[in-house]
Structure 1
Amino acid sequence: MTLPPLLSSLRLPVIGSPLFIISGPDLVIAQCKAGIVGSFPALNARPQALLDEWLHRITQELSAHNRANPDAPAAPFAVNQIVHKSNDRLEADLATCAKWQVPIVITSLGAREDLNTAVHGWGGITLHDVIDDRFARKAVEKGADGLIAVATGAGGHAGRLSPFALIAEIRQWFTGPLALSGSIATGDAVLAAQAMGADLAYIGSPFIATTEANAEENYKQGIVEGRASDIVYSNLFTGVHGNYLRRSIEAAGMDPDNLPEGDLKTMDFGGGNGSKAKAWRDIWGSGQGIGSVDRVELVADRVARMRAEYSAARARLAV
Structure 2
Amino acid sequence: METELTKLLQIKHPIIQAPMFLVSNVAMVKEAMNSGIAGCIPALNYRTLDELKVALRELKAAKPKGGAFGFNLIVNKSNVKYKGQLDVICEEGCDFIITSLGNPAETINRAHEVGIKVFCDVVDLNFAKKVEDLGADAIIAVNNEAGGHRGNIAPEKLIKELKVHCNIPIISAGGVGCKADVDKMLGYGAAGVSVGSPFIASEEANVTEEYKQACVDYGADDIVMTERISGTPCTVINTPYVQKIGTKQTWLESILNKNKKLKKWVKMIRFSIGMRATEKAAKQATYKTVWVAGPSIEYTTRILPTKQIISRLVG
Q: TM-score higher than 0.5 here?
A: yes
| Deviation digits for residues 225-244 of structure 1 (CA, Å, limit 9, x no counterpart) | 11111101122211111111
Q: Could you list the per-position Cα deviations for residues 132-167 of structure 1 after superposition, in whole angstroms to 9, with x for gaps in the alignment?
A: 111111111222111011000210000111112211
Structure 2 CA distance for aligned equivalents of residues 114 and 260 of structure 1: 32
The residue aligned with 1:35 is 36
Query: Using a 3 Å threshold, how does the CA distance of structure 1 residues 152 and 5 change in structure 2: closer, same or farther?
Result: closer
Alignment-derived partner of residue 26 in structure 2: 25
The yes-or-no answer on 1:185 pairing with 2:177 is yes
Tell whether 2:207 aligns with 1:215: yes
The whole-number CA distance in structure 2 between the counterparts of 1:80 and 1:148 is 12
Aligned-partner SS, 2:16: strand
Match among 114, 124, 127 for residue 132 of structure 1? 124
In the alignment, is the contact (CA less than 8 A) between 2:3 and 2:191 conserved in 1?
Answer: no
Deviation string, structure 1 residues 34-53 (Cα, Å, up to 9, x no partner): 11110011011112221011
% identical equivalent positions = 29
Give the CA deviation at 1:6. 5.5
CA contact (8 A) 1:27 1:299 kept: yes
Are 1:268 and 2:268 an aligned pair? Answer: yes
CA distance in 1, matches of 2:115, 2:249: 45
1:151 corresponding residue in structure 2: 143
- Which of residues 115, 126, 135 in structure 2 aligns to 1:123? 115
Corresponding residue number in structure 2 for 1:297: 304
Matched, 1:254 2:244: yes
Q: Call closer, same or farther: CA 1:194–1:117 in 2, change over 3 Å.
A: same
Question: What is the match of residue 314 of structure 1?
Answer: none
Structure 2 residue 53 is matched with structure 1 residue 52: yes
Q: How much does 1:100 deviate? A: 1.5
Q: Secondary structure at the match of 2:4?
A: coil
Unaligned ranges ≥5, structure 2: 258-262, 282-289
Letter in 2 for 1:195: G
**Runs in 1 of length 4+ with deviation above 4 angstroms?**
261-264
Evaluate the alpha carbon distance shift between residue 251 and residue 138 of structure 1 in structure 2; reply closer, same or farther with a 3 A threshold. same
Aligned to 2:61, what secondary structure does the other structure show?
helix
Match for residue 160 of structure 2?
A: 168
CA distance in 2, matches of 1:252, 1:292: 22
- Give the TM-score taking structure 1 as reference length: 0.86
1:287 is matched with which residue? 294
Contact 1:130–1:148 (CA<8 Å) still a contact in 2? yes
Going from structure 1 to structure 2, the CA distance change for 1:217 and 1:179 (only over 3 Å counts) comes to: same
Q: Which runs of 5+ in 1 are unaligned?
A: 67-72, 309-319
Asked if 2 retains the 8 angstrom alpha-carbon contact of 1:154 and 1:182, the reply is yes
Are the aligned partners of 1:207 and 1:299 in contact in 2 as well (CA < 8 Å)? yes
Equivalent-residue separation in structure 2 for 1:26 and 1:74 (angstroms)? 17
Code of the residue aligned with 2:19 in structure 1: it is: P
Deviations, residues 231-258 of structure 1 (Å, cap 9, x unaligned): 01122211111111112xx3367344x6
Match of 2:79 in 1: 87
* TM norm structure 2: 0.87
Query: In 1, are the aligned partners of 2:230 and 2:272 still within 8 Å (CA)?
Result: no
For the residue of structure 2 that corresponds to 1:268, the secondary structure is: helix
C-alpha separation in 1, matches of 2:42 and 2:7: 19
State the number of aligned residues. Answer: 294
SS in 2 for 1:172: helix
Q: Deviations over 1:101-128 (max 9, x none)?
A: 1110000011232220111111111000
| Partner of residue 69, structure 1 | none
CA distance in 2, matches of 1:18, 1:279: 19
